[in-house]
Every structure is written in C-alpha cells, then in structure tokens.
Amino acid sequence: MATANASNFNIVALLAGANVETLAANKTLTTADANFQKLDPGGSARDVTLPAEASSTGSVFYIMNAADAAENLVVKDDGASTIVTLNQNEAAIVICDGTSWVHMGVLTIALT
C-alpha cells in the first residue's frame, strides 16, 4: 500500500459551517468567508465577487443560487471578469490556482 506524503497534496482547509444569506446587494467574498455559500439573490440578479487571486491560492468556494424566482448570481473575479453565471437552482464549485479562478462545472440542484 502506498503511503501518502503531505508534500504531494495541496491541502485545502475548509472553513467551518456555511453561509446562508438573502442578498440585498452584490456580495464580495474574502478568503475568511465560509467555503459553502447558499445565496438567494433577493429579487434581483446579483454579482458575487471572488477574492484576489494572488491571496487565494488553493481557495475553494461552493456557491449555490437559492433563488425563489428567475434571478441570476454572476460570479466574477476581482477584475470584474465573469467566471460563471448561476441561474435559479444551479450551483458551482470555483477553485483558485493563484493566478485565476476556475469553475469546475455547473450543477443543477433541487431545493426543498
């Protein structure tokens, strides 16, 4: 059996809990925010701005659009470039490599 060595992996520490929030304005995330973000745009399309890439190497966010109507979350980098647009009942995982944010696909979700 092979033994894993910590130097072979990028260790990502997940922050405790999740943020469940109804937005009244655009949202800017920091590296101190919870990795899991369940966001209701609150009646209008909203921008969700990710932290600066240089200070976010290895950061991961799972962002869920928990809208109760056709409201988008537009996930952007700190330079205002769109990374991914999440429609109602969609979620995405975004990962930072230190130079850019990459989304790993959009998931369709069922909220109850």
Residue 12 lies in a domain: no
pLDDT at 107: 85
40's tokens? 């209701």
Q: Find the range with the poorest average confidence among 1-10, 33-42, 87-96.
A: 1-10
User: By C-alpha distance, which of 50, 42, 41, 34 is closest to 94?
Assistant: 50
Contact 93, 103 (CB under 8 A): yes
Domain range spanning residue 69?
Answer: 31-108
Residue 73 lies in a domain: yes
What residue has token string 């033994």? Answer: 3
Residue 7 lies in a domain: no
The model's pTM is 0.84
- 81 contact partners, CB below 8 Å, separation of at least 6: none
Count of domains observed in the chain: 1
- Residue of higher predicted confidence among 109 and 69: 69
Residue 60 lies in a domain: yes
pLDDT digits (tens, 9 = 90+) for 25-65: 999 999 999 999 999 999 999 999 999 999 999 999 999 99
Can you spell out the DSSP letters for the chain? -PPP-GGGS---PPPSSEEEEE-SS-EE--TTS-SEEEEE--SS-EEEEPPPGGG-TT-EEEEEE--SSS--EEEE-TTS-EEEEE-TTEEEEEEE-SS-EEEEEEEE----
Residue 63 lies in a domain: yes
Residue 83 lies in a domain: yes
**Confidence label for 13 from pLDDT (cuts 50, 70 and 90):** low
Residue 66 lies in a domain: yes
**Confidence label for 105 from pLDDT (cuts 50, 70 and 90):** confident
Mean pLDDT of the chain: 88
Residue 79 lies in a domain: yes
